[in-house]
Amino acid sequence: MVISGVSVNTYYQGQTAARCSPTAQEAEGERLAAALREQQEERPNLSEMMKEAREQAAEREKILKLPKNSARYGDAPMMAYAKLARARSLGDVDAASGYARRQIARLRAAKRSDGENADRIQAAINQLQKAVNRAGRKKRELTQEKTSAAKQVRLEKEKRLREAKRQRHELRRRQAQRVIRESGYLREAEIDNRIQNQLAASKLELRNQMQELTTSTQVSLETAIQGYTASVGEAAVSTPEVSVQA
């Protein structure tokens, strides 16, 4: 009887513990949810990313404000990309594209008058042409994002919350990709500008070396001629006279 009583009590205690403690699946679900929450907290917010990108673009645009007649041709593409990254509406994109087109026309005129920097000017024109093409792409993307946002609102009104949530996540993903890509555009222009500066410096150094070599060669040649002339003169003076008297 005692053994039976102990067994019964043990059985009821086990049943009570089983009802009170969470199952293995629930515990695993809680761990996964906690991990997802931690990952989302660590991941930068899309709005913060876009704000930071616009601030960096504005800072770049402020730094690059130069006189109209400046010969720093590589700054024009970076200014165009800064304006494009800051653009939040179709009108802003058109303004950035218009700026790039005006700079292309200005640089083409400068290329005809500044043949010494023709390569640098052409590189800047190529970057600006890319900016015009990328502005067209951004206009299409902004239009698509506007359509997606309207669809999300419609789904929420229709109480189709799961579809609305999926639409919102897809919209944020596309916006984040666009922000990252536009930041890459600006870095690309900066790298290209540095490369062009290095090439220009190398060409200038080679030109200076050629001038120094030419100058030193001319000096050496003139010195040799003068030395030869002087030696011939000395030889003529020192030649003894021959008497022809018988």
The per-residue pLDDT for range 97-141, each reduced to its tens digit, is: 999 999 999 999 999 988 888 888 999 999 999 999 999 999 999
CA distance 41 to 52: 18
Match 């555009």 to its residue by tokens.
185
Instruction: Give the pLDDT mean for 154-180.
Output: 89
Instruction: Give the pLDDT mean for 220-226.
Output: 64
Q: Does residue 162 have a pLDDT over 50?
A: yes
Q: Which two tokens stand for residue 194?
A: 């540095």
Q: Does residue 82 have a pLDDT over 50?
A: yes
Q: Which two tokens stand for residue 173?
A: 């993903």
Instruction: Give the pLDDT mean for 76-86.
Output: 91
* Beta strand ranges found along the chain (DSSP E): none
Residue 132 confidence (pLDDT): 95
What share of the chain has pLDDT > 70, as a percent? 58
Measure Cα distances from 212 to 201, 207, 208, 215 in Å: 16, 9, 6, 5
Q: Does residue 54 have a pLDDT over 80?
A: no
Measure Cα distances from 91 to 58, 138, 148 in Å: 17, 11, 19
CA angle 152, 153, 157 (to 5 degrees): 115
Q: Does residue 51 have a pLDDT over 80?
A: no
The rounded mean pLDDT for the chain is: 75
- Size (the chain), residues: 246
Measure Cα distances from 117 to 110, 160, 200, 203 in Å: 9, 61, 8, 10
